Amino acid sequence: MATIDELDSDISDLHVRISAIHAHRANLASVLLSQAHLAARLQTPKQISKSAKRAIEQQSKRNLENVYRACAGVTAYKVQDPDPNAINNGNILGVSIDVAIGGKFVETYHVLLNWSERDESRLLRIHKHTIPPCIPLQQLVNKWLPQSGKDVEVDPEQDLVRFGRLLRKELVSWHMRVKAVEELQKEAGLAMSRSRARDEQEENPERTGKILNAFVSEDEASSDIEEPAAESGNARILDIESDAAVRQITITWSDRRTAVLSVTKDGRIEKAVCRAKDGSRDQSLSRKAFGPMTGLLRRLKG
C-alpha cells in the first residue's frame, strides 16, 4: 500500500516539475522571440522559415498589444462581425478596458461598437459588450454616445474618449469596492469561515438558503449558532455582506447589533444606520462609521 502511495506522490511531483519546466520553456521561448533584430539575424544565412517568421511576428504583435494595454488601460481594436447581414460589412470597433487591482490585472471588459455613416460623421452605437449590469452603461451612453432620436436634424455629439474614460472609472471603482469588502471580511476573520461554508455547501448543495421573510425577524434568521448574550465590545462580527454593486454593506454582530451602510462610488461611507439588539438606533455608532471603507472596523470598535 505504502509503495502505491509513494508512487502516486512521485508521479504528482513529476507532474508538478513537468509543468514548471514547461512554463519555464515557454517563458524562455517568448524572451527569445522578443529579441530585437531576431528576424534579420535569422535571415542572413539563408531564407528564413515561414513558421519562424510567423512566431516572431506573433510575439512582437503580442508584445506591442500588451504594452499598450498595460500602460493605457483603455485600448481600441478592430473586429470583424461574422454575420453576413451586419451593418457596415461587419466592421466593428472594439474597446477593451483592463482593470488592475493591487498590482495584478484582474479583469478585461469589452465594448464592441458599430457605426452608421451620416454626412461626414460617424454615429457609434453599442453592438455587444461584456459590462455587468451593475455598471450604469446606459446612462454613460446617453451622455457621451447619444443616438439621434426622433429629429434627424440635430446631429448628436459623441465623445468616445470620454465615454471610455468614465466607463473605466466606474469599472475600476467597482472592483476596488469589491476588494475593500473582501479586506473587511478578512479583517473580521470571516474569510476562513466563509471558505469552510463553501466546502459544506459543496458537500450538501441541496440545502435551501438562508430564509429571509417579512414574518421572521432578522435576528432569528441570522444566527445558526446560539451565542450567549455577549456584552457589546467583545462581540464577534458574524457577517459582512454587500450587494452586487457594493453600494450597500450590511454588518451583523453576534450580539444582534446590525449596521447598514451606504457607500458612494469612491468608497466612502456616507450614510449609516446602526441598530442595537433591541432595534433602537445607535446614533453615535452610526456617526463613527462615516469615512473611507478601509479602517471601518477599527472605527466601529473604537
| Footprint (CB under 8 A) of other proteins, residues 228-257 | 243-245, 247-248
Nearer to other proteins, 14 or 31 (CB): 31
Which of residues 2, 89, 207, 231 is near other proteins by CB under 8 A? 207
Alpha carbon distance 116, 301 (integer Å): 58
> Does 102 sit near other proteins (CB under 8 A)?
no
> Does 204 sit near other proteins (CB under 8 A)?
yes
Nearer to other proteins, 113 or 285 (CB): 113
Amino acid in position 131: I
Instruction: With CA atoms as reference, report the closest residue to 126 among 107, 109, 144, 145.
Output: 145
Q: With contact defined as beta carbons under 8 Å apart, do 211 and 223 qualify? A: no
> Does 13 sit near other proteins (CB under 8 A)?
no
Cell of 91: 466592421
- To the nearest whole angstrom, how small is the minimum distance from the Cβ of residue 272 to other proteins? 14
Nearer to other proteins, 70 or 229 (CB): 70
Instruction: With CA atoms as reference, report the closest residue to 96 among 79, 112, 117.
Output: 112
Cell of 188: 473580521
Beta bridge partners of 118: 121
| 70-99 footprint of other proteins as x/- string (CB under 8 A) | x----------xxxxxxx--------x-x-
Instruction: With CA atoms as reference, report the closest residue to 102 among 183, 20, 17.
Output: 183
> Does 224 sit near other proteins (CB under 8 A)?
yes
| 130-149 footprint of other proteins as x/- string (CB under 8 A) | xxxxx-xxxxxxxx---x-x
Kindly list the distances between the CA atom of residue 107 and the CA atoms of 76, 115, 132, 153, 166, in Å, as whole numbers in the listed order: 16, 26, 12, 40, 17
Q: What is the 3-state secondary structure (H, E, C) of 93-107?
A: EEEEEEEEECCEEEE
Which of residues 12, 43, 49, 63 is near other proteins by CB under 8 A? 63
Instruction: Please count the residues of this chain forming the interface with other proteins, following the rule CB under 8 A.
Output: 82
- To the nearest whole angstrom, how small is the minimum distance from the Cβ of residue 225 to other proteins? 10
DSSP-derived letter for residue 192 is H
> Does 291 sit near other proteins (CB under 8 A)?
no
Nearer to other proteins, 81 or 187 (CB): 81
